[in-house]
Structure 1
């Protein structure tokens, strides 16, 4: 699956669940929440997270949690992009172009 296909699937999923009508400001809030969850997952992997009420996780469970939270962040970025009609492949090209220009390197694509 590529980003454009996933974005289309995601938007359809959100519409079927009546979530797509929210404004980009709401999705920005969701993105902020998910980013915090990525921070928590990285903390658990890097320095541990020994919190009362939470069961200890294996390294594999911690990595699986980080992957889940990164996917949640990606989904919110794709929804925000869709709200503004931005093709996700264009985001990749924009990133490569900006970094290549900034560091005076040839673009790989």
Structure 2
């Protein structure tokens, strides 16, 4: 798996393909609807988000302190980073579905986060 590079709100994919957050959200919703996954309730979706958070935790643990488990094989640094990227993407996808369900533009989350932090920690 090749790593995508992030620049501002655009993701630059290895073979010159580009997709921004809005385009990915539209693609994702269509993908979920085709598989009848979109209709799941927010409570079920929270369970998926929780599961993905656990998988992210495991990926970070593998990078930071390793994982000494008899069933696991050693992964290269590149494989660990690829896994981390996959898990972050899975969480992002769940968040994008929440945004769609509640009619929130995901791009607005960026400014909402910044505004909240600026209010909380004025310079």
> Which TM bucket (shorter chain)?
over 0.9
Structure ranking higher in helix proportion: 1
Unaligned runs of 5+ in 2: 1-18
Runs of 4 or more, structure 1, over 4 Å off, are none
TM-score by length of 2: 0.82
- Residue 94 of structure 1: how far off its partner (Å): 0.6
What is the RMSD computed on CA atoms of the aligned residues?
0.9
Structure ranking higher in strand proportion: 2
* Residue 111 (structure 2) aligned to one of 93, 98, 101: 93
Deviation per residue, 1:17-55 (Å, 9 max, x gap):
110010111111100000000100000000001211122
Deviation per residue, 1:55-92 (Å, 9 max, x gap):
21111111110010000000001111111111101111
TM-score by length of 1: 0.92
CA distance in 2, matches of 1:98, 1:5: 26
